[in-house]
Every structure is written in structure tokens, then in C-alpha cells.
């Protein structure tokens, strides 16, 4: 039995492009104050309209101050995680704009997920980021970036930046 998508196509008619995800790579400033190249880490980011708030992996922000919060449970596609602290982040989204610096608060998590950071609806709505599934793009202001294969890794991103 073939499964059918919402447009009436059966699974044999679906292209691999339907598997793309709203993923980008960013430059996280891993220490407070003035930034230097050695204090910036390239991270893998998922834009997730199902996530109410933004979260970041704890191992990336060891040199940033954190504030304790009430424990919160988060359900993700990768499993359930909990957080009990937040940190103020500074990062760039170079595929959109290399020089724009985004500042936000993010919940800090310990679990190992497929992404270093998940940008939730809180930050996407504040920045005006749109996920366009019809065109398979992510839009921020005047910039548009195509969605990519969920298995795209940082090495592939960095090799394209050097071309």
C-alpha cells in the first residue's frame, strides 16, 4: 500500500526535496565582551516552529554567565530534555547576513541533540524569520536561504564558505 501526501501524490512520486529541513549554521560568541576569532564557534542551528523558546547546548557556553530558572521540560523530536538555567547569547547567521549580531536569551540544555541550538518561535517572531515550506526556504528580512538535508554537517558548510 502506498502512502499519499496532502497533494495526492503517492510516496513513489515524492522527491528527495520533501526531506529538507530549516537548518542553518551560525557563529556563536562563546565569551562575553569583545569578540575575537578564537572565541567564535560555528554551530548547527534548527529553526523550529514547534519549539516555543530558543535553547542552546551547555557545552558551547561554558564561559558565559547563566541565570538559574525554574526547571522546564521540553519535548523535541530527539527526545525529552529539561533546563534550569538561561544565558544571554550573541551570534551571527552568516548565510543571511555575516555582520549582523543577534542577541537573545536562551534556555541551556545538557542533553546531546542533533543541533547545537534550536531557534524557537520566541526568537523567530522577534526577528521576523519565516519558514517557507512551499518554497523550502528560510527568510529573514531581505535574505532567503534554502532548506537543506538534515544530515548536512558543519564541515560541508565550512567547505562551501571557503569556495
Question: 19 with 27: CB under 8 angstroms?
Answer: no
Pairing outcome for strands 40-47 and 23-29 = antiparallel
Q: What is the pLDDT of residue 36?
A: 54
Closest CA to 28 of 82, 84, 108, 83: 108
Look up residue 78 and give its three cell numbers: 530527539
CB atoms inside a 10 Å sphere around CB 140: 20
Whether residue 9 has pLDDT greater than 50: no
* Higher-scoring residue by pLDDT: 7, 161: 161
pLDDT in tens, 55-88: 999 999 998 999 999 999 887 765 678 899 999 9
Q: What does DSSP assign to residue 6?
A: T
119 within 8 A of 104, measured Cβ to Cβ: no
User: pLDDT-derived band of residue 14, with 50, 70 and 90 as boundaries?
Assistant: very low
Does pTM top 0.85 for this prediction?
A: no
Amino acid at each position: 500500500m502506498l502512502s499519499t501526501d496532502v497533494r495526492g501524490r503517492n510516496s513513489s512520486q515524492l522527491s528527495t526535496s520533501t526531506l529538507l529541513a530549516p537548518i542553518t549554521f551560525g557563529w556563536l560568541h562563546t565569551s562575553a565582551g569583545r569578540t575575537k576569532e578564537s572565541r567564535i564557534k560555528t554551530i548547527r542551528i534548527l529553526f523550529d516552529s514547534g519549539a516555543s523558546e530558543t535553547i542552546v547546548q551547555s557545552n558551547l557556553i561554558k564561559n558565559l554567565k547563566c541565570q538559574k530558572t525554574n526547571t522546564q521540560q521540553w519535548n523535541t523530536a530527539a527526545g525529552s530534555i529539561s533546563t534550569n538555567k538561561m544565558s544571554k547569547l550573541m551570534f551571527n547567521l552568516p548565510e543571511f547576513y555575516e555582520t549582523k549580531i543577534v542577541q537573545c536569551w536562551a534556555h541551556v540544555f545538557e542533553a546531546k541533540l542533533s543541533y547545537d541550538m534550536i531557534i524557537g518561535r520566541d526568537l523567530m517572531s522577534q526577528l521576523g524569520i519565516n519558514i517557507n515550506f512551499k518554497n523550502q526556504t528560510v527568510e529573514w528580512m531581505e535574505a532567503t536561504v534554502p532548506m537543506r538535508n538534515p544530515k548536512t554537517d558543519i564541515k560541508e558548510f565550512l567547505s562551501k564558505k571557503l569556495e
